[in-house]
Chain A
Amino acid sequence: MNDVLTTSIGEWQLANPVMVASGTFGYGLEYTDLMDISRLGAISVKGISLNPRLGNPPPRVCETPCGMLNAIGLANVGYDVFVNEKLPELRERGAVVIVNTYGTSTEEFAELARRFDQADGVAALEVNISCPNVKSGGMHFGADPAAAAAVTAAVRQATSLPVIVKLSPEAPDLRAVAQAVQGAGADALSLINTIRGMSINVRTRTPRIGPVFGGLSGPAIRPIALRMVYEIYQVVDIPLIGIGGITCFRDALEFFLAGATAIQVGTANFKNPLTAIEIIDQLHEYCIANQINPSALTGQIQISSPNE
């Protein structure tokens, strides 16, 4: 559009701070009938593993109050198919691609980072140490500061791409994880991934999600996500990408004020795939009207009396 919304995540320059969250926007190419995907600040693609993954037994999604549960299990086409069949078209269309990576070991995360470092058309990596729906890796890394730091350090060594680490709200001490990840060389943090929840069909007395637990997302978790962005903003110096139930421009502003430099739209993409585009347009209007860059909002919540 122009540079009113230009955003920096470390060295990485973005046209605007509005991204779409991994798992809610496929590989981006599915949406080209509906919008110019190059307008999005970035697209965090569906989590990619070294090998294709089939995902969990159904049912994998169900609706909950102002949100949804999912237990997809990181079903994805794998590194080769992504790089050969998706990335070239994404590049051609001018999409800014964040590759969300998932490994079951530190070595796998590092190997993915090494490979994507050489791939043409990748703007940044988002290290997914926070998926609640897989048996190994995922959230287990994200819950423990030492393990999270080890994955981050290995990825950092393997690539010169910007490294974003996606945090889990289930970490017993999220501040410790965030600081450890920053110390291990992450360029930015994205938060939050989903929170485990469950739902029961009382007629059949069966869980409404195949693996019993699923990750809760949507506006239902927004206040929790906002609180965590606010908390983490107090203890780290690297930029934060706020995620959690953002459905409109006002929600996005809340996250900026709490401490986010950029935001990701997730579940709301299902409600309306044009949500992120609409937020970009409204943010643009707002920034022109107020003669500011969105970065001027980051962490600008006004609290009259300290709440410590």
Chain B
Amino acid sequence: MNYWTCTITEIEHLQSGYALLRFSADEAITGEPGQFVMVRGDWGDHPILPRAFSLVETGPHGAILVRAVGTGTEKLVQMKPGDKLFVMGPCGRGYKQPTSRRPVLVAGGVGVAPLLFLADRIDEKTPRPVFVYGAQTSADLVLTDRLQSLASLELITEDGSCGETGLVTAPLARLLNDGVPSEIYACGPTGMLSAVAQIAMRAGTDCEIAFESPMACGMGTCKGCAIHDADGQYRYVCSDGPVFDARQIYGGTN
């Protein structure tokens, strides 16, 4: 765990209030796909809590994908290169390394962030990943050119403005029917994660899902980010996750 005092090096403004923030510190930014960082600007007492973001890039520069949805994220997307950024991480447990099976990455909305990083990290020994990316409308689909270069991209929107019309579950179910041994990596709204987990468990496919939760500390100390697991016990998104085996949360025993 590190607490990096960073400088913003670049802000790539995308559509629909999304921005890709790149930052650097005196040392390399470390972390694996699915791990996250707690981020805050130098803005006084409000908002006081840092925000959790999936890492999208690590190395000499770190990067996070921010969507402006509230006070903290608004402030972040309005920052400028040269501004100070406080970054604590890498936090939590990331995705397992892909094996020799075909990786199927399923992203809903801003859940695209950790999966973009994962797609970028998949090497030649692993079959080319399939990336199913869904959102409400075409304007909410970001960084699709980059995704296209890393994976076979299947876009889907609820209003049909881009790609197929509907939810990510339809292409996912079709894919799993083609008989190619696969493993699923997902991130998105809770409803989507639950639906993806059910499909994966029915198909007997390994599935790792990344959760989001309000949190304060990001490192397992405040016990604020509890979710229920399949046995009705509490799991902590920041320290037990954010990535969980789908069966842990939705499957009970198997």
A residues contacting B by CB (< 8 A) are 23-27, 30-31, 33-34, 46, 54-55, 57-63, 65-68, 70, 72, 75, 218-219, 247, 267-274
Provide the residues of chain B in CB contact with A219, threshold 8 Å: 45, 48
Q: Which residues of B are interface residues toward A (Cβ below 8 A)?
A: 1-3, 40, 45-50, 72, 86, 88, 213-228, 233-234
4 closest pairs, A vs B, by CB? A26-B221, A61-B224, A33-B1, A75-B223
B234 near A46: Cβ-Cβ < 8 Å:
no
Give chain A nearest CB distance to B232 CB in angstroms: 10
Task: Kindly state the separation between the CA atoms of A174 and B190 in the bound complex, as whole angstroms.
Answer: 44
CB-CB nearest in chain A for B233: A54
Q: Do A63 and B221 have beta carbons less than 8 Å apart?
A: no
Nearest CB of chain A from residue B32's CB, rounded to whole Å: 16
Once A34-B1, A273-B3, A273-B88 are accepted as A-B contacts, the answer to whether A60 and B221 lie under 8 Å apart by CB is: no
Q: Which residues of the other chain, B, contact A271 by a CB distance below 8 angstroms?
A: 40, 48-50
Q: Is the interface of A mostly helix, strand, loop or mixed?
A: loop
Q: Which residue of B lies closest to A248 (CB)?
A: B45
A274 to B45, CA, bound (A): 15
Q: How far is the CA of A34 from the CA of B2 in the complex (A)?
A: 6
Chain B residue, CB-CB nearest to A26: B221
Q: Report chain B residues within 8 Å CB of A269.
A: 217
Q: Determine the chain A residues whose CB is within 8 A of the CB of B49 once the complex forms.
A: 63, 68, 270-271
Of A24, A55, A68, A270, most buried by chain B (CB within 10 Å of CB) is A270
Which residue of A25, A58, A268 has the most chain B CB atoms within 10 A of its CB atom? A58
Option from B48, B227, B234 in Cβ contact (under 8 Å) with A66 = B48
| Complex CA distance for A25 and B148, rounded to whole angstroms | 43
Partner of B217, one of A55, A57, A67, A270: A270
Closest to B40 in A: A271
On whether the beta carbons of A66 and B46 are closer than 8 Å, the reply is yes
CB distance from B243 to the nearest CB of A (A): 18
User: Once the chains are docked, how many angstroms separate the CA of A67 from the CA of B219?
Assistant: 19
Structural contact, B221 and A25, CB atoms closer than 8 A:
yes
Kindly provide the distance from the CB of B136 to the nearest chain A CB, expressed in whole angstroms.
15
Check B3–A268 contact: CB distance below 8 A. no
Q: Give, as a whole number of angstroms, the nearest-CB distance from B206 to chain A.
A: 26
Give the shortest distance, in Å, between A51 (CB) and chain B (any CB). Answer: 16
- The residue in chain B whose Cβ has the minimal distance to the Cβ of A268 is B48
Contact of B224 among A27, A70, A247, A268 (CB under 8 A): A70
| Among candidates B2, B3, B45, residue contacting A218 with C-beta atoms closer than 8 Å | B45
Would you call B2 and A33 a contact (CB within 8 A)?
yes
**Given A34-B3, A68-B48, A219-B45, does the pair A270, B214 have CB atoms closer than 8 Å?**
no
CB distance from A53 to the nearest CB of B (A): 10
From known contacts A25-B221, A55-B234, A68-B216, infer whether A63 and B226 are also in contact, taking CB-CB under 8 Å.
no
Given A24-B221, A55-B234, A72-B222, do A218 and B48 touch, yes or no (CB 8 Å)?
A: yes
Q: Please, which residue of chain B has its CB at the minimum distance from the CB of A75?
A: B223
Compute how far the CA of A67 lies from the CA of B45 in the bound complex, rounded to whole angstroms: 8
Output the nearest chain A residue to B46 by Cβ-Cβ distance.
Answer: A66
CB of A63 within 8 A of CB of B222, answer: no
Do A60 and B226 contact each other (CB < 8 Å), given the known contacts A33-B2, A55-B234, A271-B40?
Answer: yes
In the complex, are the beta carbons of B221 and A46 less than 8 A apart? yes
B249: min CB distance to chain A, Å: 13
* A212 vs chain B, min Cβ distance (A): 16
What distance in Å separates the Cβ of A258 from its nearest Cβ neighbour in chain B? 19
Given contacts A55-B234, A66-B46, A273-B88, whether A23 and B40 have CB atoms under 8 Å apart is no
Contact between A66 and B45 (Cβ–Cβ < 8 Å)? Answer: yes
Q: A274–B222 contact, CB under 8 A?
A: no
> Which residue of chain A has its CB nearest to the CB of B226?
A58
11 A-B pairs with C-beta separation under 8 A? A23-B222, A26-B220, A30-B219, A58-B226, A60-B214, A70-B222, A219-B48, A267-B216, A270-B218, A271-B40, A273-B88
Of the listed residues B2, B50, B234, the one surrounded by the most CB atoms of chain A closer than 10 A to its CB is B234
Residue of B nearest to A53 (CB): B223
Chain B contacts of A59 at CB under 8 A? Answer: 213-214
- B40 and A65 contacting across the interface, CB-CB below 8 Å: no
Is B48 a contact partner of A270 (Cβ separation < 8 A)? yes
Min Cβ gap A98→B in Å is 16
Across the interface, A26 reaches (CB within 8 A) one of B1, B40, B217, namely B217
Q: How far is the CA of A27 from the CA of B221 in the complex (A)?
A: 7
B3 A58 Cβ-Cβ under 8 A: no
Tell me which residues across on chain B come within 8 A of A66, comparing CB atoms: 45-46, 48
With CB as the reference atom, state the residue of chain B lying closest to A271.
B48
Q: A61-B222, A75-B226, A218-B48 are in contact. Are A274 and B3 (CB under 8 A)?
A: yes
Report the Cα distance A54→B232, complex, angstroms.
11
CA distance A57 to B223 in the complex (A): 11
Q: How far is the CB of A273 from chain B (nearest CB, A)?
A: 6
Chain B residue contacts of A27, Cβ below 8 A? 221
With the chains together, A58 CA to B32 CA distance in Å?
A: 27
Q: Which residue of B lies closest to A273 (CB)?
A: B3
Closest to A58 in B: B226
Question: What A residues does B222 contact at CB under 8 A?
Answer: 23-24, 26, 61, 70, 72, 270
